[in-house]
C-alpha cells in the first residue's frame, strides 16, 4: 500500500468538505468544512516554524486530511481526519506509521517529537494514538485535553 502525500489545495481537494460524521464534526471540524479549518491555519500560523496542511491519497482517492504544526523540532497533529468512506479499514494507523517513518521525505524537515492534544471525551482518538506508541504526557491547563507524544 503506497500513500501519496500532497499539499492541500482547495480547488483540487474540495471534495473533503463533504466528509461528515458525528465524530469528525465534533472533534476535528467543529461543525465547519475542512477547507475552513485549512484556511484558518493558513492565515493564523500556529507552528513557530511552519504549518503543513496535507491530503493523503491511495489509488488516486483522498483517504485523509492532516494539519501539522511544527515548532522547534516538534510536530503537532491537529487534526488527522480519515475519509468516512474508509474508516475502520486501518488507513489512519497506516498513514500515521508512514508519517512517523518517512517524515523527512513527507515534511522535508527534521522532527524530534510528534504531539497530539486530544479531548478527554475523544476516547477513540486516545486509543488510536496509544496504539501507535504515543504516551500520555500531561493534561492541558483546562483539564479537558491531554497531550500525547511520540519521540521520533
pLDDT digit string (tens) for 86-129?
Answer: 988 999 999 999 999 999 999 999 999 999 999 999 999 999 99
Q: Residue 117, SS3?
A: strand
- Bridge partners of 81, per DSSP, are 65
| Mean per-residue pLDDT of the chain | 89
User: Where in the chain are the domains?
Assistant: 4-151
Cβ density class 12-30: b for 16+ within 10 Å, e for less? ebeebeebeeeebeebbbe
Cα 146 from Cα 109, distance rounded (Å): 26
Q: Is 48's pLDDT higher than 70?
A: no
* Cis ω before 90 (30° cut-off from 0): no
51 or 68: which leads in pLDDT: 68
Strands (E), the chain: 4-7, 50-58, 61-71, 74-82, 113-119, 135-139, 145-151
Domain 4-151 CATH class label? alpha beta
Amino acid at each position: 500500500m503506497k500513500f501519496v502525500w500532497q499539499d492541500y489545495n482547495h480547488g483540487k481537494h474540495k471534495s473533503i468538505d463533504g466528509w461528515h460524521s458525528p465524530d469528525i464534526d465534533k472533534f476535528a471540524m467543529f461543525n465547519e468544512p475542512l477547507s475552513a479549518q485549512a484556511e484558518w491555519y493558513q492565515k493564523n500560523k500556529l507552528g513557530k516554524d511552519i504549518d503543513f496542511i496535507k491530503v493523503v491519497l491511495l489509488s488516486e482517492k483522498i483517504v485523509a486530511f492532516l494539519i501539522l504544526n511544527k515548532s522547534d523540532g516538534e510536530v503537532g497533529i491537529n487534526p488527522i481526519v480519515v475519509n468516512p468512506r474508509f474508516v475502520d479499514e486501518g488507513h489512519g494507523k497506516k498513514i500515521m506509521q508512514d508519517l512517523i517513518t518517512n517524515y523527512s521525505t513527507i515534511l522535508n524537515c527534521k522532527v524530534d517529537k510528534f504531539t497530539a492534544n486530544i479531548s478527554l471525551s475523544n476516547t477513540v482518538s486516545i486509543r488510536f494514538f496509544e496504539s501507535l506508541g504515543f504516551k500520555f504526557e500531561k493534561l492541558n491547563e483546562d483539564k479537558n485535553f491531554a497531550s500525547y507524544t511520540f519521540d521520533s
